[in-house]
Amino acid sequence: MRKEMNQDLIADKETFSTSEYEGAAGVPNRTAKNHIKKMVDLGLLKKEGAGPSTRYRVIRA
């Protein structure tokens, strides 16, 4: 269930922040960061910026 919800979240947006992911996924900040890192490592997301203004862009196939 959580996997489908996360897919819906990233499918609906071009970019999002960690806090946006955290709120939509209903997970703690550390878990959100771990999820996002895995998606970046898999090439599903691209990290843009640094610090509090970091955004993650969805890589469309």
Residue 42 corresponds to which amino acid?
Answer: L
Q: The whole model's pTM is what?
A: 0.81
Q: Please, are residues 10 and 16 in contact by the beta-carbon 8 Å criterion? A: yes
pLDDT tens digits for range 2-41:
565 566 666 677 899 999 999 888 899 999 999 999 999 9
Q: Where are the domains of the chain?
A: 2-58
Which residues face 55 on adjacent strands? 48
Q: Is the pLDDT of residue 1 over 50?
A: no
Domain 2-58, CATH 3.40.190.10 — does that match? no
Query: H helices then E strands: how many in the chain?
Result: 3, 3
Nearest-angstrom CA–CA distance, 1 and 11:
15
